[in-house]
Structure 1
Amino acid sequence: MWHASVRAVPVLAVCRQGRGSRQPACRLRGLGLALAEERSPGKNRASPFSQASKKLVAATGQQCLPLSIDVRQPQTIVAAVEEALREFKRIDILVNGAAGNFLCPASALSFNAFKTVMDIDTLGTFNTSKVLFEKYFRDHGGVIVNITATLGYRGQALQVHAGTAKAAIDAMTRHLAVEWGPNNIRVNSLAPGPITGTEGFRRLGKEASQFDTIPLHRAGNKTEIAHSTLYLASPLSSYVTGTTLVVDGGSWLTSANNFPALLGIASSSAKL
């Protein structure tokens, strides 16, 4: 395990609420973490992130502030950022991880389903980044890590919505890195491959034989994604900006893009 002894670093991590949400792993001492879960307006159920924050506090002894936002609604982001600033007085790192995805052929994808994924993934990433820029990063600098994907690198079947949204975020990463660099803001993307213990991994059902085509012959794990995110967020990558770090064991280079088999998967129209 990599340990780093650093000053207190307030982090705002934006993640998707619901079954299988990726919960941030804290690996830095002196870390103040604000967990901002992405939600739909009007939902007031008990938050799994509240439980996650309690576990993080118990495990690390550090502050953890659970927040609830709709990344499609900038006013909810403004409120969350202001609350985090009241609590921590500063925010050094933003991790954009809110996302929506499902398997569906383009021919069966409703207009609203496509728009919903774009709104959560792409628009949500821009909204959160811009609010934090205006509220803190413009005057103090900071780091943004956008969680993307390799779906669009070769054109994967059943993923036109998610692949398009993530490709747009990678482009956004480059644009913002150029524009905000003079403000001492670094912006990078991280594109994970198949990761065990995630909802996507469970839903797609990965057979061991499938990993034979991956150069490292295995799936990744959440700790490896946490370490990679910490690299991009830490001074270890202080001269890195506007790039995408692919963390997939080389999977996208060698794994078969078996689109006929994927297109054979029965999938009803997504009517979100």
Structure 2
Amino acid sequence: MPDLLDGRVAVVTGGGSGIGLSIASALAAAGADVIITSRSAGRLAKAELVVAEQTGRLCASMPCDVRDEAQVATLHDFVAQRFGPVSVVVNNAAANFRMPAERMTHQAMRTVVDTDLFGTFNVTREFLPDLVAAPGAAVLSIVVAAVERGFPQFSHAGAAKAGIISLTGSWAREWGRHGIRVNSIAPGPVPTEGASTNMLGMGDSSAAFAQFTELVPLGRLGAVDDIANAAVFLCSDAASWITGVNLTIDGGIYLPPGP
């Protein structure tokens, strides 16, 4: 439905590549005005071209480090001047790298938690007045599947994502009176360059994730579009009575074992 999100203004953090870029394209294809952020201006320039090629619509971009409150405030001013109030916030910006728990340093923990957890907090808080005033406002955060089982070798990211899930429930309960819906999506194994490089230490995402294919009941790995399609749904009025939900999209890989 090309007009599903017509009139909505959406900010997507970490929108320069991978899942974030796919979500940005899907939101634009559904009619939203989309602004993507990343720390890399070069990556954003390429991402703008991808969105235009895939959707026939232009999107805007602005470099922003979500850990920096001043930069987030500047992002808000940029969006307000160019598009007006924001009605959709997608928190996808994340940092991650492999590090065993016994070697985890304070700096390593802060690097990931500041980006994932505090970045989600910084951006959502900055745009909250917009969301309060907007009809059909939605906040969506990208986390990881089955985080309650632990995240070996990535305890910093697991802790941050668990915190985001908690924020999702808290914000849903607190802001429901304003009509703001707050949800999260927990992807299973989805081959992206960032995930294969930062998590599996391999540059070829298809090869890096091949080991998971036989574990997925649906028989295939996820695609970025699988996540993006769900994101459009949760950000639209089609999900107008859904809030406080963490939606796992994993092809069934984390289902409890059968008899």
If the length of structure 1 is used for normalisation, what is the TM-score? 0.83
Match of 1:175 among 170, 173, 186: 170
Change (3 A) 1:16 1:108: farther
Matches for 1:201-216 after TM superposition, within 5 Å: 201=196, 204=200, 205-208=208-211, 210-216=212-218
Match of residue 10 from structure 1: 9
Q: Shift of residue 239 of structure 1?
A: 0.3
The equivalences for 1:159-174 within 5 A come to 159-174=154-169
Structure-to-structure mapping, 1:1-272, within 5 angstroms: 3-6=1-4, 7-15=6-14, 22-25=20-23, 26-27=25-26, 28-37=29-38, 39=39, 46-134=41-129, 136-141=130-135, 142-150=137-145, 152-201=147-196, 204=200, 205-208=208-211, 210-253=212-255
CA-to-aligned-CA distance 1:101-156 (integer Å, 9 cap, x gap): 1111110111110111110000110110000003x112225100000012522123
Kindly name which structure, 1 or 2, has the bigger radius of gyration based on alpha carbons. 1
Call closer, same or farther: CA 1:154–1:59 in 2, change over 3 Å.
closer
What amino acid sits opposite 2:112 in the alignment? V
- Would the aligned equivalents of 2:15 and 2:36 in 1 still touch at CA under 8 Å? no
| Partner deviation per Cα, 1:231-259 (whole Å, 9 max, x = no partner) | 1111111100011000111112258xxxx
Shift of 1:21: 7.5
1:191 partner SS: strand
Structure 1 residues 55 and 65, CA gap change in structure 2 (3 angstroms): same
Aligned equivalents of 1:29 and 1:169: distance in 2? Answer: 26
Deviation digits for residues 150-198 of structure 1, max 9, x if unmatched? 2522123212111110000000000001111111110001000101234
Question: For residues 239 and 80 of structure 2, what CA distance do their matches in structure 1 show?
Answer: 25
The structure whose residues are more often helix, as a share, is 2
* Structure 1: segments with no counterpart, 5+ residues: 40-44, 256-272
Contact 2:2 2:31 in 1 (8 A): no
Distance 2:119 2:244 in 1: 19
Distance 1:201 1:180, change over 3 A: same
C-alpha separation between the residues in 2 aligned to 1:145 and 1:199? 20
User: Which amino acid in 2 is paired with 1:229?
Assistant: A
Q: CA deviation at 1:4?
A: 4.1
Give the number of aligned pairs. 244
Q: Residues 32 and 138 of structure 1: is their aligned pair in 2 closer, same or farther, counting only changes over 3 Å? A: same
Q: Give 5+ residue unaligned stretches, structure 2.
A: 201-207
How far is 1:59 from its partner?
3.9
Distance 1:238 1:131, change over 3 A: same
